[in-house]
Every structure is written in C-alpha cells, then in structure tokens.
Structure 1
C-alpha cells in the first residue's frame, strides 16, 4: 500500500491514503500481475477498458467526451513514466473528474 501511495504522491502531494487504499481494494487481484497492474496509455483498447470499467461503471460518468478528456489529461501527466501504475492512473482520472470523494 505504501508503494502505491508514494507513486500517487509524485503527482498529487496531498493524496489521501484512504482513497488510494479504496482503489487498491477495488483492483484487487489485477495488481498481482505486473502486466495488469500497469496501464498502457498508447493502447486504444486499454484506454477504452479504463473508460468503460473505471470511469463508466465505478465512477458513474456517462459523458464520453468528459471521460476521454480526463483519461487523455492523465496520460499526458504521466507521459514521462514508462511504467504507469494502474492505481495512480485511476486515482488521477478520478481526481480529474472530481470523483475522489465518491470512492
């Protein structure tokens, strides 16, 4: 958990450990595998899964343009990070959409 929080804090120094913990619990088993614990921001299928499963289902955002904008902004913010942690990516997307409080 501390590693995930430290990674999120690279992008948001005021990140809440409670919110990060909720994302970690939501992702569960996906974090055990290195490949599924990372987000490939250059793979359109991967970004569509983030949009459908995280933004749509979990965060309840049905506005596709708003979802795409948040995902795009997050991908750009993390562009220099070759290993984009799924926890950090999801956190930043939720923050961009103003949904951290609803997790």
Structure 2
C-alpha cells in the first residue's frame, strides 16, 4: 500500500496531516485504482478534469482559466522530477496554494 501522506511530505515536510487525511477520505476510491491515483500532466483532458472537478467544483474557485491553468502548471513544475504524480499530492498542493486546505479538515 502506498503511503500517500509520505508522498505529500516530500514536497511539504510540514504538511497538514488532518488535511491529508481529509483528502484521503474524500478520494479513497479514486486512490485504489492505479490509473486514477496519479495525475498525467501531459494529458490536456486530465488537466481540464482536475481544473473543473477539483479546483472549480470541490474548492469552489471562480478565478479565471488563466489563473487556474497557471496554478496547475506551477504544481506540474514542482512535481516534474517525479514520474508518478500522486493525485493526493497534486490536490494538496493546489488546495494549499489557494488557501483551501481547511475544506478537508
């Protein structure tokens, strides 16, 4: 079993454990499937889904597409050395960037 919290802590050593746990509870089913457990930053359809489903719907963001796309690109750049980009890590970094970690407590 993958330690998703440890993956987040590679990028944020002082990560909010309660927020990670909340993300894991929310996305537990998604994380059991290898295909959906990781975000493919090279797939525009995948990025559009993350933007629509996570950033706009789950986080409730109303920022412009340019702002949301820039945030996705920034997280992609942060994780570029990692071949497998954990959905939990991607979501944590995005929620943190927009000050929305409290939604997962």
TM-score (norm 2): 0.91
Number of residue pairs aligned between Structure 1 and Structure 2: 103
Residue in structure 2 matched with residue 82 of structure 1 by the alignment: 83
Unaligned runs of 5+ in 1: none
1:55 and 1:76 map into 2 onto residues whose CA distance is 18
TM-superposed CA distance for 1:2, in Å, is: 7.8
1:101 is the counterpart of 2:102: yes
Structure showing greater relative contact order (alpha-carbon pairs closer than 8 Å, 6 or more residues apart): 2
Residue in structure 2 matched with residue 8 of structure 1 by the alignment: 8
Task: Point out 4+ residue stretches in structure 1 off by more than 3 angstroms.
Answer: none
TM-score (norm 1): 0.93
Residue in structure 1 matched with residue 46 of structure 2 by the alignment: 46
